[in-house]
Structure 1
Amino acid sequence: MGMTNDAGKRIATAGSPRPSPFRQLVAADTKDLSRTLQAGFATLFLFGFFLLVIWALSLMLAGSGSPRVVVDGSDAGLAGRIDSALSERGIDLVDDPSAANILVQEAEGKVTMVVSADETPAWQGVWQAVRGAGVEIMDITVVDSEGVWKADILQANLAPALGLGLMAIAFVGTAVPLVSMRERGTLRLLGTTPLRNDTLVLSLIPARLCFALVEFGVVLVIAATRHYVEPGMLWRLSISMLLSLVMLFPLAFLLGSRARNAANMQQLAVTLTMLLVGLGGGILPSEIIPGPLQVLFNVIPTTWMIQALGADLAGIEPDLPLSALWVLMAVCGAVAFVLAARLFSWDREPVRRGTIGTKR
Structure 2
Amino acid sequence: MSALLTKQPRAAFAELSMTNARELLRDGKTMFFILFFPLFFLGLFWFLAHTIDAESPQPVVAVTASSGSEAVVNELEEAGFTVSELPDGRTTDEATAIVSVEGSSATVLLDAEEEPQWRGLVDAVAGTGIAKADIATAYSDGRAVFDPLRSSLASIVMVSFLTLAMLGTSVPVVALRGKGTLRLLGTTPLRRATFIAAQTPSRFLLGIAQLALVVTVTAALGYLSPGAVPRLILTALLGLIMLFALGYLIGSRAGNAEATTTVVSLLIPVALMLSGSVIPLEVFPPQVAEVIGWLPTTVLADALAVDLVGDSSAANLPIAWMVMAGVAIAAALLATALFRWDQGERR
Query: Do Structure 1 and Structure 2 share a fold, with TM-score over 0.5?
Result: yes
Contact 2:182 2:341 in 1 (8 A): yes
Q: What is the distance in 1 between the residues matched to 2:340 and 2:201?
A: 22
The aligned residue for residue 34 of structure 2 is 43
Q: What is the distance in 1 between the residues matched to 2:71 and 2:208?
A: 35
Contact 1:143 1:149 in 2 (8 A): yes
1:121 is paired with a residue of what secondary structure? coil
Matched to 2:292, the amino acid is: F
Contact 1:311 1:317 in 2 (8 A): yes
Please say if 1:34 is aligned against 2:25: yes
Task: Give the deviation of 1:47 after TM superposition.
Answer: 2.6
Contact 2:73 2:84 in 1 (8 A): no
Matched to 1:95, the amino acid is: E
TM-score w.r.t. the length of structure 2 is 0.87
The aligned residue for residue 9 of structure 1 is none
Q: What is the distance in 1 between the residues matched to 2:235 and 2:123?
A: 24
The aligned residue for residue 223 of structure 1 is 218
Please say if 1:285 is aligned against 2:276: no
Matched to 2:38, the amino acid is: F
Q: What is the distance in 1 between the residues matched to 2:109 and 2:52?
A: 17
Residue 216 and residue 121 in structure 1: after superposition, are their counterparts in 2 closer, same or farther (change >3 A)?
same
Q: What is the distance in 1 between the residues matched to 2:174 and 2:334?
A: 17
Please say if 1:206 is aligned against 2:201: yes
Moved more, 127-136 or 22-31: 127-136
- Calculate percent identity across the aligned residue pairs: 32
Residue 318 and residue 70 in structure 1: after superposition, are their counterparts in 2 closer, same or farther (change >3 A)?
closer
Task: Give the deviation of 1:110 after TM superposition.
Answer: 5.6
Q: How does 1:313-328 map to 2 (within 5 A)?
A: 313-318=308-313, 320-328=315-323
1:62 is paired with a residue of what secondary structure? helix
Contact 1:63 1:121 in 2 (8 A): no
Q: Which string of whole-angstrom CA distances, capped at 9 and with x for unpartnered residues, describes residues 303-334 of structure 1?
A: 11011011122333446521221122112111
1:280 is paired with a residue of what secondary structure? coil
Q: Which string of whole-angstrom CA distances, capped at 9 and with x for unpartnered residues, describes residues 279-302 of structure 1?
A: 221321122222111111122111
RMSD: 2.5
Please say if 1:52 is aligned against 2:43: yes
Q: Which string of whole-angstrom CA distances, capped at 9 and with x for unpartnered residues, describes residues 92-112 of structure 1?
A: 532365553321124587633
2:137 is paired with a residue of what secondary structure? strand
Matched to 2:61, the amino acid is: V
Residue correspondences, number: 336
Contact 2:162 2:243 in 1 (8 A): yes
TM-score w.r.t. the length of structure 1 is 0.84
Please say if 1:187 is aligned against 2:171: no
Q: Which string of whole-angstrom CA distances, capped at 9 and with x for unpartnered residues, describes residues 203-246 of structure 1?
A: 11222223212221221121111111112111121111111111
Moved more, 21-30 or 181-190: 21-30
Ranges in structure 2 where 5+ consecutive residues have no aligned partner:
1-5, 87-91
Task: Give the deviation of 1:85 after TM superposition.
Answer: 5.3
Contact 2:245 2:332 in 1 (8 A): yes
The aligned residue for residue 69 of structure 1 is 61
The aligned residue for residue 93 of structure 1 is 83
Task: Give the deviation of 1:347 after TM superposition.
Answer: 0.7
